[in-house]
A and B are shown apart, each in its own frame.
Chain A
Amino acid sequence: MELSDQLKQTLDALKEQFPKGLSVLMPALHAVQAEHNHIPPELEQPLAAYLGVPAEIVHEVSTFYFMFHTRPVGRHHIYICGNLSCWLRGAETLRDHLADRLGIQPGETTSDGRVTLSVVECLGMCDHAPVMLLDGEFHPDLTVEKVDRILAGLS
Chain B
Amino acid sequence: MSERILSKRFGLADSHTIGVYEATGGYATARRVLQELTPAQVTDEVKKSNLRGRGGAGFPTGLKWSFIPRDTDRPVYLCVNADESEPGTFKDRHIMEQDPHLLLEGIIISAYAIGCHQAYIYIRGEYIPQIRRLRAAIQEAYGRGCLGRRILGSGFDLEVAVFTGAGAYICGEETALLESLEGKKGYPRLKPPFPAVVGLYGCPTIINNVETLANVPAILEKGGDWFAAVGANRSGGTRLFGVSGHVTRPGVYERPMGYSLKQLIFEDAGGILDGRTLKAVIPGGSSVPVLRADEIDIALDFESVAAAGSMLGSAGVIVMHDGTCMVRALQRLIHFYKDESCGQCSPCREGTGWLLKIINRIIRGDGRPEDVDVMRDVAEGILGNTICPLGDAAALPVISFVTKFRDEFEHFVRHKRSAVLAPVK
Q: Which residues of A contact B (CB under 8 A)?
A: 17-18, 20-27, 29-30, 53, 57, 60-61, 64-68, 79, 82-85, 87-89, 120-129, 133, 136-138
Contact = CB atoms under 8 A, between A and B. Distances in A.
Interface stretch (B26-34, B61-69, B86-94): B86-94
B167 A65 contact: yes
A129 B252 CA distance: 13
B182 A22 contact: yes
A84 B332 contact: yes
B181 interface: yes
A125 B85 CA distance: 10
B245 A85 contact: yes
Nearest to B329: A84
15 contacts: A21-B201, A23-B181, A26-B166, A26-B181, A30-B164, A64-B342, A79-B126, A85-B250, A88-B244, A88-B324, A122-B85, A122-B89, A126-B242, A126-B244, A126-B250
A66 B185 CA distance: 11
Interface string B196-229: 0000010000000000000000000000000000
B175 interface: no
Nearest to A64: B185
Interface string B57-96: 0000000000000000000000000001111111011000
B246 interface: yes
B237 interface: no
Contacts of B128: 133, 136-137
Given A21-B182, A61-B184, A84-B332, A129 B244 contact: yes
Contacts of A125: 90, 93
B133 to A, nearest CB: 13
B87 A126 contact: yes
B244 A127 contact: yes
Contacts of B340: 121
Given A30-B164, A85-B245, A60 B185 contact: yes
Contacts of B85: 121-122, 124
Given A60-B185, A82-B332, A84-B245, A68 B166 contact: yes
B252 A127 contact: yes
A57 B242 contact: no
B37 interface: no
B129 A137 contact: yes
Interface residues of B, number: 54
Given A57-B184, A122-B85, A133 B167 contact: no
Contacts of B184: 22, 57, 60-61
Nearest to A79: B126
Contacts of A20: 182, 201
B180 interface: yes
The 4 A-B pairs of least Cβ separation, nearest first, read A22-B183, A65-B166, A126-B244, A67-B167
Contacts of A22: 182-184
B115 to A, nearest CB: 18
Nearest to B245: A88
B270 interface: no
Contact of A127 (B250, B328, B342): B250
B369 interface: no
A124 B186 contact: no
Contacts of A57: 183-184
Contacts of B194: none
A135 B320 CA distance: 31
A128 B93 CA distance: 12
Interface in B6-63: none
Nearest to B340: A121
B183 A128 contact: no
Given A64-B185, A67-B126, A126-B316, 7 more contacts: A22-B184, A25-B183, A26-B165, A26-B180, A30-B166, A85-B244, A137-B128
Contacts of A123: 126
B90 A83 contact: no
Given A27-B163, A27-B164, A121-B336, A84 B124 contact: no
Nearest to B94: A127
Interface string B299-336: 00000000000000000101010001000110011011
A64 B186 contact: yes
